[in-house]
Structure 1
């Protein structure tokens, strides 16, 4: 699936043109803690516009350089939840980690785990966004993050360091109808809308199970009797009888 990710840097977006231009999903910036605590001022407009155009969407929240403990990750997740509550997302919601210091690798990993666990407990399908090398290799301990879906940025080739991922950001200079500035381009390799909706995540209600009638009992009713050297077998409404003979 071909998609984009957007924020205030893409300015005013014509989502109908984005849709007709072949874009199949969008990940929208909700806010962050990299410049104080804030909501991206285009989030509501982009959410409403993409939904109206029928484009499935996800969201992301960029954490700041001080998000380097489990408690920090939990706090940022709660801020993210406040921004997106009451909305539905067909694609995952992501922690965006790219501005912590490499020396805080352990703490940043703790923060990611705390963030994702908090989002999951609140009923969201959460993943981690970072660059292949400068993010997942230099700033995170990938071995501790196997439980979480990953959205990996690498331009020029598919990710090499991260081997398992659900989405790939492959360009930051894309040209898309309906968006004047350059835009990030992505590919999704999983049917996220089906996964998320069928499990009742990201604001969706879990579908009611279909009423499946019990299969009719097809086993015949059998009654066997033996008396005075004769046998009688009744199978449903059919009777069979005869003499018992020694072999």
Structure 2
């Protein structure tokens, strides 16, 4: 099984030296693009474009994620539109991910949360993106209908125990990693799929089919 080590970052990590990050053995980076939608474009992550430019210049493949506050399907669709607007023009060798975990959403119920996840992911697929859902075992068991969402790749946050083989495309295994080039603690990930090859082969995430 392929195992590529990566990190995921936002403006909370400050200015990152991606050349040092790559030299430390990191093979990809997931960048927060934005969050919510109500005050867009102000809710674009203020480091996204700088992080994307510098990571690409350092030779690091990138994906992007959107942190959700959606309470309805309409909210989710608006968040997808916002995300698409931010990443327009970027070529993402790793997935475009939907980060659904905010405590304000936890009480919405399984049906509502499943609908929110599906609405966002479906809109991203329709726009030509390889999408994945960022989630955790608690939400998978208690808040989402994973059978209904089984068409989507998963990025699972599970600290201390690796997901069962074949259940996830990516695994976030800690939120307290230390990596050269990053001044703060950082989330650490493992990718189990050759996403760059996939994006180019099928022509997704800004790449032409080849």
Question: Could you state the TM-score of these two structures normalised by the residue count of structure 2?
Answer: 0.92
SS at match of 2:203: coil
| Matching residue of 2:96 | 93
* Aligned partner of 2:143 among 131, 139, 142: 139
Task: Tell me the secondary structure at the aligned position of residue 141 of structure 1.
Answer: coil
Deviation at 1:136, TM superposition (A): 1.9
| Structure number with higher strand proportion | 1
SS at match of 1:202: coil
Q: Indicate the residue corresponding to 1:167 in structure 2.
A: 170
Normalising to structure 1: TM-score of the pair?
0.79
Counterpart contact for 1:4–1:185, Cα < 8 Å = yes
| Structure-1 residue corresponding to 2:116 | 111
**Is 1:95–1:128's contact at 8 Å kept on the other side of the alignment?**
yes
Higher fraction of helix: 2
Structure number with greater Rg is 1
Contact 2:84 2:124 in 1 (8 A): yes
Q: Distance in 1 between matches of 2:98 and 2:86?
A: 13
Counterparts of 1:168 and 1:179, CA distance in 2: 20
CA distance in 2 between counterparts of 1:34 and 1:62 reads 10
Residue in 2 aligned with 1:179?
Answer: 182
RMSD (CA atoms): 1.6
Give the aligned length: 203
- Residues 150-170 of structure 1, C-alpha deviation per residue, up to 9 Å, x if partnerless? 00001011136x961100000
> Pairwise mapping of residues 42-57 of structure 1 onto structure 2 (< 5 A)?
42-57=47-62
Query: Aligned pair 1:122/2:119, yes or no?
Result: no
Per-residue deviation, residues 128-159 of structure 1 (Å, max 9, x unmatched)? 001221x2223322121100000000101113
Q: Tell me if the contact between 2:71 and 2:108 (Cα under 8 Å) persists in the aligned partners.
A: no
The 8 Å contact of residues 8 and 189 in structure 2, kept in 1 or not, is answered as yes
Match of 1:62 in 2: 67
Partner of 2:11: 8
Unmatched 5+ stretches in structure 2: none
Say which is worse superposed, 102-111 or 149-158, in terms of deviation. Answer: 102-111
Equivalent pair of 2:18/2:181 in contact (CA under 8 Å)? yes
Hey, what does 2:152 align to over in structure 1? 148
**Match for 1:28 among 26, 31, 39?**
31
Matched residue SS, 1:49:
helix
Q: Secondary structure at the match of 1:143?
A: coil
